[in-house]
Copies of this chain bind each other. A is one copy, B any other.
Amino acid sequence: MTPESTSDVISSERVEGTNVYNKAGEKLGSIDDIMIDKRSGQVRYAVLEFGGFLGMGTDRYPLPWNMLTYDTSMDGYVVPLDKAKLEGAPRYAETQAPEYTPDYSRSVNDYYGVTW
């Protein structure tokens, strides 16, 4: 799950900015940020930046980390999401990030049907 090869780890700076595609090969956006569980140190969400024009008005979509698979041929992550699914997904403006409370996290996980 990474753009690198011989390392066992991937840098957060390297993940940020990586493109995200759906299984049809359509670009959905790029990773803007990574949300890490405070207690366990487990990455919970990759935050997808999507929409807007020339960087203005883009929205942020938290995607459960384990939905992402790195595809070396695409040089990006692939997620099993079509654009319609994404358009109805939990999102927020860059400047209005919510607190990731247990309720908020649950709403995101429920939308994508993931558990951990």
Q: Which A residues have a C-beta under 8 Å from some C-beta of B?
A: 1-2, 4, 6-13, 15-16, 33-45, 47, 65-66, 70, 97, 99-102, 105
* Structural contact, B38 and A9, CB atoms closer than 8 A: yes
Assess A12 versus B16: contact at CB under 8 Å? Given A1-B39, A2-B38. Answer: yes
Contact of A41 among B7, B66, B101 (CB under 8 A): B66
Q: Identify which of A16, A100, A102 gathers the most chain B CB atoms within 10 Å of its CB.
A: A100
14 A-B pairs besides A9-B100, A11-B35, A11-B36 with CB distance below 8 A are A1-B38, A1-B39, A1-B41, A4-B99, A7-B38, A8-B44, A8-B101, A9-B35, A9-B37, A9-B44, A11-B33, A34-B34, A40-B42, A41-B65
Q: Which residue of B lies closest to A1 (CB)?
A: B38
CB distance from A63 to the nearest CB of B (A): 12
- B12 engages A37 (CB within 8 Å): no
Cβ contact within 8 Å between B43 and A7: no
CB-based contact B36/A12 at 8 Å = yes
